[in-house]
Amino acid sequence: MEYGVKIQFKTDGRPVCIPAVSDMVKNVRKSIEKAKVLIESLPYMQEFRGKTIVIKYGGHAMVDNHLKRQFALDVILLKQVGINPIIVHGGGPQINRLLDRLDIQPSYVQGMRVTDGETMDVVEMVLVGKVNKEIVGLINHCGGNAVGLSGRDGDLVCARKMKVSRKDEDQGATPPELIDLGQVGEVTHINPGVLQSLSREDFIPVIAPVGVGEEGQAFNINADLVAGAIAGELSAEKLILLTDVPGVNDKDGRLITTLPAGDLEKLIEDETVAGGMIPKVRCCQDALRRGVSKTYIVDGRVEHSILLEMFTPEGVGTEIF
């Protein structure tokens, strides 16, 4: 019998096909390659077993149906190999769509959404009542065991009103103008008890970034900041921010794969890091100061980007340490 030849013969008058030997060899080789991938991942699984990983879930990965399913499967796999994933999600586009339907014009100052009482109701309705439940439902549908929370549950994310100032060049010695962003908050404290309890019971916490003030009022908080604060409070092994860019680029547009936190200020000053990337690297800085081992800015548009970052030597995106 020669490789590449298919044999056909008849049994009881019916033709029966036997696949060519070459086809079987190819299939075995593919299976061997898959086994090699699993073996190469084993040291990383052993290293991170029992560790906490905080993932900020946002961007295109939350919109594309295929990527949403891949994300859910990645998170389930992490849990199955003994890692404790905690998810903090955004939801800006979904909030804007409902505001548009309600004929409420969104307003931004320094990249932050001005959140009056009416807008806060919409924010909480979308993040807690819709987006959070969709993520939890998808993970559970794919075989996981997720529980949805907001930062107000169990006083998980305590917050205060964020104060923002703005100074124009022509103001001279005049004090900066204070800007009222409404119910926009900043994290003051994380109460991790509920998360620790859920992790011990093998649940995957999924958190909407809504905080609670001293008087019980709700605050809209940037999801990156919530993820960083939670990662720091839990001394997480990794903080992974999923974005719609490959990571942090240098002046020539090339991806910076590893970046010491001490180099960030210089990159911000010379505008290598600019725009929406500044709050993300600031979030990583803060998480590292709070005790997180390593932080990552990863392209969520890449399939299985979390697994590639966790279980391969090359990784993807930018590691900030």
DSSP class of 153:
G
> What's the start-to-end Cα distance of the chain, in Å?
58
Contact in structure between 54 and 234 (CB atoms under 8 Å): yes
Distance CA 47, CA 269 (A): 36
Active site residue 59: yes
**Which listed residue (51, 64, 92, 121) is catalytic?**
92
How many whole angstroms separate alpha carbon 33 and alpha carbon 180? Answer: 57
Round to whole Å and give the CA distance between 139 and 27.
Answer: 31
Q: Are 261 and 218 in contact (CB under 8 A)?
A: no
**Active-site residue (options: 58, 68, 74, 224):** 224
Establish whether 280 is a catalytic residue.
yes
Instruction: Verify whether residue 13 is a known catalytic residue.
Output: no
Q: Which H, E and C letters describe 44-96, residue by residue? A: HHHHHCCCEEEEEECHHHHCCHHHHHHHHHHHHHHHHCCCEEEEEECCHHHHH
- In the annotation, is 12 catalytic? no
Which residue out of 90, 211, 280, 299 is catalytically annotated? 280
Query: Is residue 167 annotated as a catalytic residue, yes or no?
Result: no
Residues with catalytic function: 56, 59, 92, 224, 280
